[in-house]
Structure 1
Amino acid sequence: MRKTACSTPSNGSGRTARSSGSPRASPPTRRSAPAPSGARVSDARPVREPGARRLVLWRHGRTAWNLENRFQGKTDIPLDDTGVQQAHRAARLLAGLRPTHLLASPLRRAADTAEALAAVTGLPVRTDGDLTERDGGAWEGLTSREIRERYPEEHKAWQPPGGETSAQVAKRVAAALERAADDLPPTGLLVVASHGAALRLGMSALLGLPEDVWKHIGGLSNCCWSVLTELRDGGWRLAEHNAGTLPEPVLGDDRTDNGS
């Protein structure tokens, strides 16, 4: 694993779409997907044809709240000028991977990041509401310092009052990624534009890691990505994490080494 520090239509599941992807065939049998305790992906999923699918999990570009170290959560904050530039630069790199499908969180900072890659590849962008960032409850809009001062116990446990638990986020994001993978052809490459905490937690669940080790997976810098490759048994391997070219700090909603 290489590691570098850088930067459908509605169907009752909470998903939305900008443009429709290819139709999905109904499989004859179903299976259970492995997931860590407290973050089960699904009790019944379609059997995928064996293949070499890849998932590129791409965090959105920088926002003003990232720069101010404010918890964004589900608040719909747009990219700042630097974030737009990051998205276009990363899109040129990711286009070289020859993606076959694009998927995004509907929040503007992620959807607009995905559109930068769509402009280069000509691929349509689908959105899925289950890829939104962690609901930060009372923390949204607060700086890291304000959270520590006003909610010391909740900060220590990293549990926003009125927000989602880590296990809840991991479960919904991992389920969205599995659904998307089920729609891929055996050699498909899906780029998913989403959010730092959502991707880290969803990826941890998808890899089958127990909840007590999720904290050991580092955060994603703005416009950096992780790559998951499909295993023969339908599981996933982390091939790259926080990949890019130049080291960049991790700014955002997810917990970092300094506890911010």
Structure 2
Amino acid sequence: MGGKAVANGDDISTWAGAERLINTAVETFGDLHAVVNNAGILRDRMLANMSEEEWDAVIKVHLKGTFAPSRFAAAYWRDQSKAGKPVDGRIINTSSVSGIYGNVGQTNYGAAKAGIAAFTTIASLELGRYGVTVNAVAPVALTRMTENLGPAPETDQEREHRSPKWIAPIVTWLASSESAGITGRVFEASGDVLAIAEGWHRGPTSKPVEDPTKLGPIVEEMMAKARLNAGMDGRDGSWPQPQKS
């Protein structure tokens, strides 16, 4: 298929590094069409055992490492739009089912990935006026970062099923002109499924009360009507429910 590439070794979780990344793309290719934010690390630990350094490292790489390049890309596209030039920009972020549904031992990672999902929604609202769409993928695949999590694939078929190749098509499509009408969405992608994560919605409601002692039966009634939290598979109620003592 051919193509041209240029390497950039800057730390995209730093302000200066992210700016140089975007400038490198514009200076090399003459324009900027799409940004894929995919930097990531893991520092998994149960909450009571997690260190400040483990929290900060994950938040910096994932969340700031998404914000900083997006910020400089957004400024570039805004200036292009205000100068009267046509803009058809794309930002594709990387969230996770851990951030959408939650996973034990990943308060840092899940918080960052949930933040990226919210960032995606808000950035899409802000940048639409400039001709830019913002979406995210929540991939499930076997990579260098995830290969030590859980049991290794036992067969070639299972390894193929968990290949990152199932993620690439949706990222490529979201970066193309065909996706112009899609923005503010998070797509789950794996060898099992391609799905749209539908995010938070308001559930059962009640009139507010001033007396907290009256809330017990009100909340109990609302909980009886509410959907259960989804598990890592995205199905309602598959998340382990708290046990009554």
Identify whether the pair has TM-score above 0.5, normalized to the shorter chain.
no
Give the structure with the higher percent helix.
Answer: 2
RCO comparison, higher one (Cα < 8 Å, 6+): 1
Q: Based on CA coordinates, which of the two structures has the bigger radius of gyration? A: 2
